Every structure is written in structure tokens, then in C-alpha cells.
Amino acid sequence: MGRLAFLFPGQASQSVGMDRFLWDYPDAVDFLERIDEMTGVHKLSSIIAEGPAELLTRTDNVQPAITMVSLATMNVLVAAGVKPEGTAGHSLGEYSALVTAGVLLPEIAAKLTRIRGELMQECANRHPGGMLALIGISLEAAEECVVEASSMGPVGIANVNSEGQVVISGARNPLNRAGVLCREKGARKVVPLEVSGAWHSPLMKDAAKGLESALDDAGFYEPEMPVVSNVTADLIRSGDEAKRLLREQIISPVLWAASMQKLRRSGFDTFVEVGPGRVLQGLMKRMEGVRVFGTHDREALEETIKTLT
């Protein structure tokens, strides 16, 4: 068996009650009991457990919510003997990956994701926009559509998730125009994402600037294991580099496919999606020669622990 990496999901992986089964694991309870205290979000634990979904989906709530549930799940795995040798996280998930790699303390990640969510929500309120997932179209074709549509306003590539799956982000009119152009170029599906703003686009410039002071005030440590950056699809070499890249990440495309190729070239062939949802599992299963596990419910978590210990 090759090396094991933990992967952490981003927004759109949430669901009301996503923490429910974790309360049966003592190693998760420490995080779950302190959700409101660690994040500073009033009644966030209740929003996670009971909803409503519209409130949970709001980015200033969902970012710290997914982070805390992911870290609680990670605690369960490590306590059971499932220990990673490397890690990465998709967008928001990069904060949990940095905790896993020893770059951030859990308390700091909880606060930073709350601040990040608040800043991004403020940007979204001032500069409304959205995101579209494009299925069955090449990156090159998507880029051509985005360039043409950008004459109407800001729109760009937000995520390169896999071969044939690209996400675009921007203001409503140019985004919708880009979606139409992508259909004309042969995209099998153009799917609006359940997000409240145009993440990873120039519309988030103010959020990136606002996050800078919070990042400067936070303690960053040297990585204890390989951790791959969304921005560069390369290893993060230092705490200072991690800090700089987290700021850039808000307005830069998530190079997920290239990040996973970096882990594969580094000898990783076993991957666990740590946290809610199964988005990353679906993307990883398209890669040859890898084993992929989940933790999205009790059955998946128990199977992962049983197989990897």
C-alpha cells in the first residue's frame, strides 16, 4: 500500500444534521461541544443540527460549520489509528488540511473560517453573483467561453476539479452568458451551485484584502507533513507561505485536479474524504490506481476505520 492522505471538503458539502452520528464518538464530542465557543458564531451548533438549510448554507455560517465537523471527524480517525502522511483541502477545506499538517491550531482555523465567511458574505451582498458547474467540457473550451462573456462583466474559472469538470464564477449576467456559450460548445450539463456568492472570482477582492489582517494576527507553524495548496497545486513549504496563499486563494482558481496529481506523484494512492458529503470521493474515483474512502455517515466512517487499521 502507498501513502495515505486526508482530503477535506469545501462548501456545498453541508447538510442539516451532518454532525448527528458523530456525537456517538467521544473523540468528536470535544469539538462538537465547543462549536459556538471556538467559532464565535451564535447558536451555530443549533443551525448545524436543526437548520433551517437556508441559514446553514449562508457562507458566514457554513464555512465554520464544515470546518468544525471536518475536524471532529479527523479526530475520530486519528484516535482510531488512521493517520495521514499528507493532506489537502478543497477551497474552505484547506484550513482543515492546514490543521492536520500542524500549520494551524484548530481554534485559529475555527476563527479564521468564521472571519473568511463573514468577509465573503459581505462581498457577495455588495457584488451579487454565483457559480456554475460545467460537466463534459474541456478547460480550454470553458476558458474561451469565459473570455467572450467577460465583455459583459467579471466572470472567470473558479475550480478545475477534474478532466471534464470545471466551475466558473462571476456576476450574474456574464455568468449566465458563459453558461449558454458552454452549452453551445458541448457541455453536457451546466449546473448552478448552491452558494451565496461568486467565490474564487475578482468579486472577492475586498474579502481577500480584509482577511489579510486576520491572517497576520494568526499563528502559522511549519508543515509537519506534505500539504498541497489550491493556488499552486504544489507543496506548501512554510507557515509564511501558507498565510500568503490563503489570502490569494479567495480570488484564485482551485487547481484541484492538479493538486491530486501532485499527491499521486508524491506516492499517495489511498485517500479519505474527511467531513460531510461525498464530492471529493466522486472526483477521486475517476483517477486510476487509487483507493478512496469516506466519512460522511456512520457506515462509511466505520468501514474506513476497519479497512485502514
Catalytic position from the list 13, 45, 91, 201: 91
Residues 86/268, Cβ–Cβ less than 8 Å: yes
Q: Is 200 designated active site?
A: yes
Active-site choice (70, 90, 169, 200)? 200
Cβ atoms < 10 Å from Cβ of 24: 10
Q: Which residues contact 54 (CB under 8 A, 6 or more apart)?
A: none
CB-side exposure of 274: number of CA atoms within 13 Å?
A: 36
Residue 91 among the catalytic residues: yes
List the catalytic residues: 91, 200
